[in-house]
Structure 1
Amino acid sequence: MSTAYDYIVVGGGLTGSVVASRLIQHDASLKIVVIEAGGDTLDREDIMMQDMGNSLHLIGGDLDWKILSVPQKHADGRTLVLPQGKGLGGGTTINGGGWIRGDRMDYDAWAAEVGDHRWSYDGQLSFMKKSEKHTNATVNPDQHGYEGPVVIQTPSSSGRAYPLREKVLESWSQLGVKALPHLDGNAGSQLGVAEVNENRNQGRRQVAAAVYSLDGVIVMTESLVEKVILERQEDGSIVAAGVKLADESELRSQQVILAAGALRTPQILMLSGIGAPEELSNHSIQTLVESPEVGKNLADHTLLFTAWKLKNPDDGWAVGSKNALFTQPQYALGLPMDFVVTTDVPKEGLAVAIEVDEGVKPDASSHALLKQARPFSESFMVYAGAPDGSAVAIGVIDLHPTTRGAITLDPSNVRGTPLVDTNYLGTEVDRYVHREMLRKVIDFAASDKTTIGRDILEGEMVPPGVEPLSVGISDAALDGRARSTVGTSYHFHGTAAMGKVVDTDLKVKGVRGLRVVDASVIPVNLATHLQVPLYALAEQAAAIITQERDSDS
Structure 2
Amino acid sequence: MSEQRRSSDYIVVGAGSAGSVVVRRLLDAGHSVHVIEAGAVDSDPAIHSPQGWPVLLGGAHDWGLFTTPQRHAADRRIFWPRGKVLGGSSSMNGMIYIRGHASDYDEWARETGDQSWSWANVLPLFKRSESHELGATEHHGGDGPLPVSRIGTPHPLAAAFVDAAMRNGHKLIEDFNADEMVGVGYTQTTTRGGERMSAWKSFVGPILDHPRLTVTTGALVHRVVVENGRAVGIEFSGEGAELVRAYADAEVVLSGGAIGSPKTLLLSGIGPSAHLASVGVDVVVDLPGVGENLHDHVLLSNVYESKQPLAAGANNLLEAQLYARSDGWTGAAPDLQPLFMHIPYPADGYPVPDNGYTIAPGIVAPKSRGTLRLASSDPYEQPLADPNILADPYDLEAMVDAVQICREIGASEAFAPWRRGELAPGPDARTRDDLREFVRRTAGTYHHQVGTCKMGSAADPDAVVGTDLRVFGVAGLRVADASIMPTVPSGNTNAPSIMVGERAADLILGVTGR
TM-score using structure 2 length: 0.89
* 1:244 and 2:235 matched: yes
What's the counterpart of residue 47 of structure 2? 47
The alpha carbon displacement at 1:484 in A equals: 1.4
Query: Aligned ranges for residues 429-508 of structure 1 at < 5 Å?
Result: 429-446=394-411, 450-452=412-414, 457-462=419-424, 468-469=426-427, 473-499=430-456, 500-508=463-471
- Structure 1, unpaired ranges of 5+: 233-237, 321-325, 348-368
User: What are the within-5 Å matches in structure 2 for residues 173-212 of structure 1?
Assistant: 173-180=166-173, 183-212=174-203
Confirm or deny: 8 A CA contact 1:410 1:416 kept in the other structure: yes
Deviation of the 1:319 alpha carbon: 2.3
Kindly name which structure, 1 or 2, has the bigger radius of gyration based on alpha carbons: 1
1:19 to 13, 18, 22: 22
Distance 1:67 1:165 in 2: 31
Structure 1 pair 230/165, CA: closer, same or farther in 2 (3 Å)?
closer
2:473 alignment counterpart: 510
State the alpha-carbon separation in 2 of the partners of residues 133 and 404 from structure 1: 35
CA distance in structure 1 between the aligned counterparts of 2:45 and 2:417, rounded to whole angstroms: 41
The share of aligned pairs that are identical, in percent, is 31
Matched, 1:523 2:486: yes
TM-score, normalized by length of structure 1? 0.83
**What per-residue deviation string (whole Å, max 9, x for no partner) do you get for residues 409-436 of structure 1?**
1037465211111211111011101110
What is the deviation of 1:336?
4.2
Given residue 426 of structure 2, which amino acid in structure 1 is its aligned partner?
P
Within 5 Å, which residues of 2 pair with 1:342-421? 342-347=323-328, 370=330, 372-385=331-344, 390-411=355-376, 413=378, 416-421=381-386
Does the CA contact (< 8 Å) of 2:190 and 2:198 recur in 1?
Answer: no
- The amino acid of 2:337's aligned partner reads E
**Partners in 1 of 2:443 and 2:119 — Cα distance?**
30
Q: In structure 1, how many angstroms separate the alpha carbons of the residues matched to 2:434 and 2:126? A: 41
Q: CA deviation at 1:198?
A: 0.9
Superposition map of 1:32-431 within 5 A: 32-41=33-42, 43-51=43-51, 55-137=53-135, 141-156=137-152, 160-164=153-157, 167-180=160-173, 183-213=174-204, 214=208, 215=210, 216-232=212-228, 238-246=229-237, 247-254=242-249, 255-310=251-306, 313=308, 319-320=310-311, 331-332=313-314, 334-336=315-317, 338-347=319-328, 370=330, 372-385=331-344, 390-411=355-376, 413=378, 416-431=381-396
Superposition deviation, residue 337 in structure 1: 5.2
Give distance in 2, aligned partners of 1:406 and 1:547. Answer: 33
Maintained 8 Å contact 1:177/1:192: yes
SS, match of residue 507 in structure 1: coil
Q: How many correspondences in the alignment?
A: 487
Q: Measure, in 1, the Cα distance between the counterparts of 2:180 and 2:274.
A: 43
CA distance in 1, matches of 2:154, 2:257: 37
Letter in 1 for 2:404: R
Aligned CA RMSD, in angstroms, stands at 2.3
After superposition, give the CA deviation of every residue in 1:89-115 in whole Å (9 maximum; x if it has no partner).
111111111112111111111111111
Is the Cα contact below 8 Å between 1:195 and 1:338 reproduced in 2?
yes
Distance 1:548 1:228, change over 3 A: farther
From 544, 547, 551, give the equivalent of 2:507. Answer: 544
Residues 7 and 32 of structure 1 are in contact (CA less than 8 Å); yes or no, is this contact kept in structure 2?
Answer: yes
> Which one is further off, 300-309 or 529-538?
300-309
Residue number in structure 1 paired with 2:460:
none
Per-residue CA shift, 1:359-389, capped at 9, x if unaligned?
A: xxxxxxxxxx53x453111123323349998
